[in-house]
Amino acid sequence: MLTTLFRIIKNGFLSFWRNGWLSMATLSIIILALLVFEGIIIFNILTKTALTALQDKIDISIYFKTNTPEDEILKTKKSLETLAEVKNIEYIPRDKALEIFKERHKNDSAISQSLEELQDNPLLASLNIKAHNPKEYVIISGHLDEASFKGWFEKVTYAQNAVVIERLGRIIDTAQKGGLILIIFIALIAVLVTFNTIRLAIYSNREEIGIMRLVGASNSFIRGPYVVEGIIYGTIAGIISIAIAGPVIYFASPYIKIFIPEINLWSYFASHLFTFLGYQLLFGIGLGIISSSIAISKYLRI
């Protein structure tokens, strides 16, 4: 049993080595497929971060008239929090709003100066509402329109931004759906190309497979080395694809940061290196084993 396993592994390595350029050609195709997978994973991470960042920027703010008692505002907050669509509500009192405003404009002497001259705080208290899903702002806005405490509202930002918010919601929605379809499509192509490459490699060995059968080798003894070869392909391709992706990500990372400031791709990649490697090995080895096993079964019927 152990000798057989040892022979299968030995034959797998021998075959990989002796098939020379054929092994190299197959290997490079698998590396390409794995790079595609890696690209997909990274694309996924980037769009997710970008979309959450974008979603985070969308909100509805209710500004209250200056004479609204804080009690009323808190009551409003409580009642809005019962809505299923609402993720969270931040209450910004007038003095806090002023603080934020000052902080934001501290380098602008004209504004700070004119603020000093004002006796009164000119800013309004507000409730900042975030929904779970950008599409739900319409619903929240509808609630606000019918609310009993509407009389205290000075203005609601949704009305002004409604079109933009709605459009963003739709863009995010289609981006997620379209991205998924695209990913499935690309992944499918990568899998098919790999499968066909391995199939061709085995096809070129079909005569040998027949000979092995005729001299009394069992199917598992013949299939084994090809599965081992599949594992070798997957392992080498996984490591090489990571080694290629590393420097690319390192150099691309600063440029990506310009578009999506929320992510530092390089440090993400570096800190998740082993997760990435694990995925690549899983994809590569899985693909190698499955393709080999399926492709060879056709020639084991003699």
Q: Catalog residues that contact other proteins under the rule CB under 8 A.
A: 3-4, 7, 14-15, 18-19, 208, 211-219, 221, 302
> In terms of Cα–Cα distance, which of 38, 20, 32, 42 is closest to 196?
32
**CB–CB of 231/288 below 8 Å?**
yes
CA 227 → CA 48, 178, 189, 261, 286, distances in Å? Answer: 36, 36, 22, 44, 10
Q: How far is CA 217 from the centre of its chain?
A: 47
- CB-CB neighbours of 149 under 10 Å: 16
Query: Using the 8-state DSSP alphabet, how is residue 123 labeled?
Result: P
Measured from the CB atom, is 11 or 76 closer to other proteins? Answer: 11
Query: Using the 8-state DSSP alphabet, how is residue 120 labeled?
Result: S
Measured from the CB atom, is 192 or 211 closer to other proteins? Answer: 211
Measured from the CB atom, is 213 or 257 closer to other proteins? Answer: 213
Instruction: Give the nearest distance from C-beta 27 to other proteins in angstroms.
Output: 17
